[in-house]
Amino acid sequence: GAVVSQHPSWVICKSGTSVKIECRSLDFQATTMFWYRQFPKQSLMLMATSNEGSKATYEQGVEKDKFLINHASLTLSTLTVTSAHPEDSSFYICSASPTSGSDYEQYFGPGTRLTVT
Amino acid sequence: AQSVSQHNHHVILSEAASLELGCNYSYGGTVNLFWYVQYPGQHLQLLLKYFSGDPLVKGIKGFEAEFIKSKFSFNLRKPSVQWSDTAEYFCAVARYGNNRLAFGKGNQVVVIP
């Protein structure tokens, strides 16, 4: 149980285009989903927290107009990287907190490798 | 902002050796503490967590961690590692009442058979 999937697992796009990454909780409902970014040999950096049906809360320094987050249902959150540039190339990981569990439980997806050329 | 420090990013040891990974955090208030593991090619999984109570926490696969409040530390230990423990280990901290996690940079552990 408590499986989180991400799609796609990797994507290559051209500079200036937009890319959408999906995060799904497969066997539970998630009130809260989180988006992280991980650079090589660095830690996971929390980008934003999204709650179903409301606007995402972005961490300091994260551009909300560049990283659009939508959490339209209890099982799906999407991250859209708009007008992507090479510096946006990174590993993006989502996690989800079950609605019925502790607020502190987070189950992680496998991540999406984004390469912007 | 709170920070989480993990030292010795790369650790190489032989099977049956003991493992200890250090984790220190900077936040002075009440915290919730976590260790996550990421096996090669897999997603992050929770090893163990501390919210309150006994500061010695036992997790899956023989791992344990000890919370020492005075040292702002939450070190991870395993008395005898196996080859299958080869993975990256991340310490994470959340302020009490807040589910936003701050991660350390991780420890890449390689166990030689």
> pLDDT confidence of B63, banded at 50, 70, 90?
very high
Which pLDDT does position B19 carry in this prediction?
97
Q: Tell me if chain B has a CB within 8 Å of the CB of A98.
A: no
Residue that wins the pLDDT comparison between A54 and A61:
A61
| Mean pLDDT score of chain A | 91
SS (H, E, C) B51-83: CCCCCEEECHHHCEEEEEHHHCEEEEEECCCCH
Q: How confident is the model at residue B98 (pLDDT cuts 50, 70, 90)?
A: confident
Average pLDDT over every residue of B14-21: 97
Mean pLDDT across chain B: 93
Question: What's the pLDDT band for A58 if we cut at 50, 70, 90?
Answer: very high
Report the pLDDT value the prediction gives residue A92, as an integer from 0 to 100: 97
| Shortest CA gap A111–chain B (Å) | 7
Q: Which two tokens stand for residue A85?
A: 């540039």
Strand partners, A90: A114
The band of A43, judged by pLDDT with boundaries at 50, 70 and 90, is: confident
Query: Is A41 at the interface with chain B, CB within 8 A?
Result: yes
pLDDT tens-digit readout, B67-90: 999 999 999 999 999 999 999 999
pLDDT at B97: 75
CA distance B37 to chain A (A): 11
Mean pLDDT throughout B29-48? 92
